A = this chain, B = another copy of it.
Amino acid sequence: MTTKTETMTRQAPAQDAGAFPVPRLDQQLCFALYSASGLMTKLYRPLLDPLGLTYPQYLAMLALWQHSPSTIGELGAALGLDSATLTPLIKRMEAGGLVTRRRDSADERRVLVEPTAKGEALRARMKDVQEGLSCAMPLERAELKALHGTLTRLVAGLREATADQD
């Protein structure tokens, strides 16, 4: 009588009465962020492919257009990536002719990264990327604005909360 029901259904197994309910995937904020981020990358891909850029490389170009030359460390701070990720990423961009890398003569530890003429030329094509993207965005302009604001505060808070793990 007690062991009889243990092989009934697999769908709601072993949930003791009063036990902590296992969090559902669709109720997890982290999963919504994870999914949204991945889908945005997928949305950018066809727009960036013809430019010879991956999505992280596109972010790096945005940072460099804003401020260059930049060191690996500065790029890392701007993008939230560490040198183990950026060093090979920048080297691939260098191989693609989009940026130059050189040691800072004033401090030989630093590596200065700067767009090439070819890299600068991509600036002119950003209009199409932005337009192509905003057309595909499923939310209202005001909603996107509000979402961006909330995310910005979330990111600022998370940076503090994870600051110890560097």
Chain A residues close to B by CB (< 8 Å): 10-11, 13-14, 19-20, 22-46, 55, 59, 62-63, 65-69, 78-80, 114, 120, 123-124, 126-127, 130, 133, 136-139, 143-144, 146-148, 150-162, 165
Contact = CB atoms under 8 A, between A and B. Distances in A.
Chain A residues touching B, majority SS:
helix
Given A11-B67, A147-B151, A150-B150, 6 more contacts: A25-B66, A29-B151, A32-B155, A39-B155, A42-B165, A46-B165
Contacts of A137: 29, 157, 161
Nearest to A22: B65
A150 B34 CA distance: 14
Contact of A80 (B23, B38, B78, B124): B38
A95 B44 CA distance: 35
A155 B35 contact: yes
30 contacts: A10-B114, A13-B120, A20-B127, A20-B130, A22-B62, A23-B62, A23-B126, A23-B130, A25-B66, A27-B148, A28-B62, A29-B151, A30-B55, A30-B133, A32-B151, A33-B33, A33-B36, A34-B37, A34-B59, A35-B155, A36-B155, A36-B158, A43-B162, A136-B161, A138-B161, A139-B150, A143-B150, A146-B150, A147-B150, A147-B154
